[in-house]
Structure formats: C-alpha cells, structure tokens
Amino acid sequence: MSDNNEAKKTYYISTPIYYPSDKLHIGHSYTTVAADCMARYKRLKGYDVMFLTGTDEHGLKIEKRAAAKGVTPQQYVDEIVAGIKDLWSIMDISYDKFIRTTDDYHVRGVQKIFKELYDRGEIYKGAYEGYYCTPCESFWTKTQLKEGGRCPDCGGETQLAKEECYFFRLSKYSQRLIDYYNEHPEFINPPARKNEMIANFLEKGLDDLCVSRSTFTWGIPVTFDEKHVVYVWVDALSNYITALGYGSDDTSLYDKFWPCDLHLVGKEIVRFHTIIWPAMLMALDLPLPKRVYGHGWLLLNGDKMSKSKGNVVDPVVLVDRYSSDAIRYFLLREVPFGSDGSFTPESLLNRINSDLANDLGNLVSRTVSMQLKYFGGSLPEAQNRLAAPLDDEIIDLFKGLKARVEEQFDELQFPLALAEIWKCVSRLNKYIDETAPWALAKTEEGIPRLAQVLYVLAEGIRIIGILLEPFMPNTPGRIFAQLGIAGNDAIISWQSAENWGLYPSSAVCVKGDPLFPRLDIEKELEALEAIKNAAAPKPAEPVKDNKQEGAKKDELPEGVITIDDFAKVSLKVAEVLTCERVEGSDKLLRLTVTNGEKEKQIVSGIAKFYAPEDLPGKKVILVDNLKPAKLKGIVSEGMLLAATCEGNLKLLTVDGDIPAGSSIS
C-alpha cells in the first residue's frame, strides 16, 4: 500500500458504525480490534491519527424494539450504546471519536447533505412498491423472495408495502464507478471484492436508490418535506464526513483528514461503501476515500455469527476470563485478513497456551529468572561479555524485524506481521537450548559467555515488546517492567526497535507474574460451556398431548421431511471458475466455484460425464452449507446437484442471467 499521506503525517481510519439493536458479538470486535491495531501502529509511527467508530441508531427495527420494551427509541439506543462503549473500553479500543447518528451535529450535517443532493437534482420524489423486511430494512421484489414470501437475506417475514419516497439517482453512476475502479486499483481490497462489485452490480446497471421513508418517524427529518425521514443510506454513510464537521461551521477536521485513508468493513457491506457511498460523494463533488478494505467473516462452526441466529460469542466473557490482550492476539493472528476465519473455544485456548504461555511467556520468564539468578538482575558491561558467531545470526534476524513487520502492516496483513514477530520469539527459545546458560553458569570461564547470552535474550525481548504494542497494548509494559526498562522512552519507542544494542547494563530485572498462565483446556471448555448455558434463554415447556401420552406428536412417515427441515439446506447459484482432474482418480474432478461471496473448492465424482474444460463458466446449483469432507485427501466444501437417469448424469444448471450467490428456494 502506498501511503500518500506520509508528508502530512495524518491518517484517518474508520470502522462501520454498528447497529445497536442488541449487544455486539466477537465478530464486531474483530473489525474494531483490527482498526485499533492499525491506528495504534500509525500513532507509534508519528502520524496524527483520526480513528472513528460509532453507532447507526435510526430505523424501523429500533422503533419497534423500543415500543415492545415500553421505552422511547432514544432511551433504547442509549442503553445499548452504553454497553458498546463499555465493550470497547475493556477491549482497549483507542478510538479518537465515537459518532452516534442521533448526535445533533450529525443530524444537521445529514439534513444539509440531503438538501444539497436534492438541490443538485440528484434526489427526486417518487413511489416505491415492494416487499419490506424490517430486520434488514430492505425492499425486495416478489421474484427475489424465498418460499413463503420470506426475505432472501435473513429468512424473516416480509410485508407488501407501497409508499412515497425520495430516490437518489444511483443509476447514472454505474460506468463512472467502473472507470474509477480501473483508474484506482487500490480503492477496493482485496481485489476479488472489486470483481464482485463490477460483475454482480455495476455491469448489470444500478437502480435508483430509495433514500427516504414516510411510514415511520424514528429517523432524521427531511427539512423540506415533513412527512419523510432520511433513510439509512444517506444517514449512516454520511457519518464518515459529518464526524469531521462537514456541514457545520467548523470544517477544520474535514479539511485536515478527508479523504479517509481506510474504511475497514465486513465483506457483506462492501457494496454500500464502494458503490452507494462513492456515488453520493461524486454527486456532491467530494473526494472519495482512498481505500475500502472488505475483510472476511469470523465464523462459528462454519456459519456467520448473527444475533438473529443466536450463534454469537460474547467478547466480554472471554476478556474477563483471559484478558483483552489474549483475545486481541487471537483475533489478529488466527484469521488470514481478508478471508473468512473460524472461532472455536478450542482454537482460542490452544493459541493462548502455545503462543502466549509457552512461547512468549516462557521466554520472558526464563530470561528474567536467569538474569536474577546468575547476575542479581543486572548484566555486566559489554567488555565483560563474550560474543560468538551464533549471536550474529540472532542479531541479523532482529535488525530486519521492524521493517518486515511494517511491510506486513502496510498491507493490512496482521497475522503475517505477528508471524514475523513469533519467528523471533521461537528463535530466542531455541537459542536458550543451543547455548544452555545453566551449563555456562557452572564454571568461571563460562560467565562472560553467559552474560552475552542473557544480553542477547534481554535485547531481543525488548524489541519484541515494542513491536507487540499495536496488537497487545498491555503486554509490552509488563515485559518492560520485568526487564527493568519501564519508562525509559528512548529505548522502548517504536523507532528504537530497529536498533540493536540499546538494552542498558544498568537495568535491573524484576520477577513478575507470568504474562499468560497456562490453561487447563478441558476445564476451561467446561467452564465456557457452563457460562454459555447459564446465559441461554430457557426453552419453553413442551405441550403435552393427553390423547397420546408418551407418543410423538405429528410423527412423520419415514422419509418425509417438513418445510423446516428443507429450510436448513442453503442452495446457492455458483459459477464454476476452474476445473481439473484429481490425480490418481478416474471419477473425481476438483472444481473452484464462487458463491458470490467467496471461492470454494468442490470435489465431485462426475469425471466420467464431464471433461474439465466443459465446466468453467457454467452456473450450477451448490449445497452451500454442507459440512466440509475429504475425498482422496482433498477438502470438499460443498456439493453440486445433479440428475441421473439410466446411468447418465447431468449437473443442474441455471438458465439466464442469474448471478452467483443467488438463493434457490
């Protein structure tokens, strides 16, 4: 990533603003921790940083939830937002500004933006008729609905609605956005997201966008038409500039920080941030953000976490039990940034034990203990230490560490940056075994060499501690305290990490508590399960069937399923991207398909009926939520539907211009 703001030393980074319909889950924390890590890194590099997060508080869903609780919408969101701010506090999120779409300055700014778009002819009055889903706050056509008139996104009920509303002329920006993407290849990352936006939306042509509502009141009033409130697209997306004072009398922050260096968002809202938002900015003749990065999802048991599905993980529980630094480390190390990743309690606990307790914690503990035991806590001066060729290998590794970490940071590859640091953690642990300090301590002749070995360890740990600060803001201070260098800013600054040999002989080690105590995984899993069960809503009492006591009610004949059973199967249109034969098999083909959101690998026994070159470009039917399985040692992430007759087989394909990712019902 090229940093065009290097000379100005400013950096503006944002998260999405979260919808406060309920408590946030670990998936929301993933986005915000990543943004916080980047913001901390830029501050350590000397940038003047604006890190923005906040909440999107308007809409019919909030209005209905507040009514059900017998409170006003403002009272409802105030309570939820207080909890969100508490969560960011315990996760050590260092935002510079927290915006709420109910803030007075945001309301005024949005009203001015809406009026300006109207005055420019970019917004016009019309009428909309469609099937409205309240949870998703989206209109759908009849052909887009699932069976039973259900929402294609969440599966919830929809209602036929017709209302007067204002439209934004989004349709006029299709080609202009394609041209902008091509002229600014860094605008959308990862690159696959750009391809999705062009193929699935822009090339097909955009429809004008409904940007006001007249059937509920919990929103920002349109100043020139009192029946209408501003709809979510203009309201929520405008936060990135209203937070800087756009539309107010004081635009100093806007002048300083806009355009934004990085909008960090989940992949499901890339469309809003790379189509709707830039089109609005183009309509206003304003600069576009420099970069939008759509990261993957943090999945639980292979499924996206969702409050409506009830499969969420409460980060507060995890932080209370394992510390914010441990949770931050897991989120930033476990998932290849940009791809989907998986959260399980087992993977979290194993990371804590292997990386944090065994590798980092053990390294610091052993080094400090030996320095105290053999030298009383303070190492001899350089002239009383004996170097060896092995030390040069370690020193060379550490001299380039800061540059390697920064290279990965600038590409938003947080896991790879941590991997670079952990190569050095592992190398120092191996260095202890290679040099055997306990053996050197047995003879007088070994003491100078022992002093050098412990110096290499202490100096390496100093550099590691510095580079961990963006990821784990509390751990470095604990490391520096044990090394006896806490508060010595000259040797614990970010810049100092590129210089070897700054650890002072005058420093006196202090034995501290273990950085990350080793966990009993079996006991922790039991404890987490107990906490989960205690927090789960109690199931309703079963209704007794007095006529058939002890018998199953509505028992189905063998082989018959209900509509609920069928609804568990997610069928999607998928496009075949590549296909090849599986080596050593005359039956299997390995296909790469896209379901509109991600690429999947499918292993299918259709080689007798299709040549590999026959399939790329075909639109097929994919069972998208099938548990992955291995065939001939190759992971298959789904299944293709086919029909067979008298020994012949044909894949079920889709006719017409139906995009990959379309749901089948």
Give the CATH number, domain containing residue 643. 2.40.50.140
**Residue with token string 């599966």:** 155
Does residue 118 fall inside a structural domain?
no
| Most confident of the following: 310-324, 391-405, 529-543 | 391-405
Taking CA 420 as the corner, what is the angle to CA 367 and CA 488, rounded to the nearest 5 degrees? 50
Half-sphere exposure of 570 toward its Cβ, with a 13 Å CA cutoff?
16
- Regarding whether 567 and 494 lie in a shared domain, the answer is no
> How much is the pLDDT for 70?
95
Written as one string, the DSSP assignment of 66-127 is: HHHHTS-HHHHHHHHHHHHHHHHHHTT---SEEEETTSHHHHHHHHHHHHHHHHTTSEEEEE
Choose the final residue of a domain: 498, 521, 544: 498
**Do residues 476 and 469 lie in contact, with contact meaning Cβ atoms separated by under 8 Å?**
yes
- d(CA 14, CA 260) in angstroms, rounded, equals 8
Task: For CA atoms 116, 118, 121, 122, give the dihedral sign.
Answer: positive
- d(CA 491, CA 503) in angstroms, rounded, equals 7
- Regarding whether 490 and 413 lie in a shared domain, the answer is yes
- Regarding whether 491 and 576 lie in a shared domain, the answer is no
Q: Which residues contact 151 (CB under 8 A, 6 or more apart)?
A: 131, 133, 135, 136, 138, 140, 145, 157, 158
Q: Which residue has the higher pLDDT, 451 or 158?
A: 451
Does residue 625 fall inside a structural domain?
yes
Q: Which residue has the higher pLDDT, 174 or 595?
A: 174
| Most confident of the following: 407-411, 534-538, 561-565 | 407-411
- Regarding whether 572 and 491 lie in a shared domain, the answer is no
- d(CA 229, CA 231) in angstroms, rounded, equals 6
> How much is the pLDDT for 3?
47
| Most confident of the following: 139-143, 373-377, 616-620, 647-651 | 373-377
Looking at residue 574, its amino acid is A
- d(CA 589, CA 585) in angstroms, rounded, equals 8
Helix axes 401-410, 389-399, angle to 10 degrees: 30
- What's the Cα-to-Cα distance from 454 to each of 369, 371, 389, 426, 433, rounded to whole Å? 10, 7, 15, 16, 12
pLDDT tens digits, 314-345: 788 899 999 999 999 999 998 777 677 778 88
- Regarding whether 492 and 569 lie in a shared domain, the answer is no
Does residue 585 fall inside a structural domain?
yes
Provide the phi-psi class of 157: left if phi over 0, else alpha when psi is between -120 and 50, else beta.
Answer: beta
Share of the chain above pLDDT 70, in %: 89
> How much is the pLDDT for 548?
38
Q: Which residue has the higher pLDDT, 659 or 494?
A: 494
Smallest CA-to-CA distance from 258 within 14, 95, 32 is with 14
Choose the final residue of a domain: 452, 481, 498: 498
Range of the domain at 570: 563-664
> How much is the pLDDT for 566?
59
Confidence bin at 20 (pLDDT 50/70/90): confident
Does residue 370 fall inside a structural domain?
yes
Does residue 6 fall inside a structural domain?
no
**Do residues 332 and 471 lie in contact, with contact meaning Cβ atoms separated by under 8 Å?**
yes
> How much is the pLDDT for 403?
98
* Domains: count for the chain: 2
Does residue 352 fall inside a structural domain?
no
> How much is the pLDDT for 560?
54
> How much is the pLDDT for 607?
84
Smallest CA-to-CA distance from 92 within 45, 51, 56 is with 51
> How much is the pLDDT for 538?
57
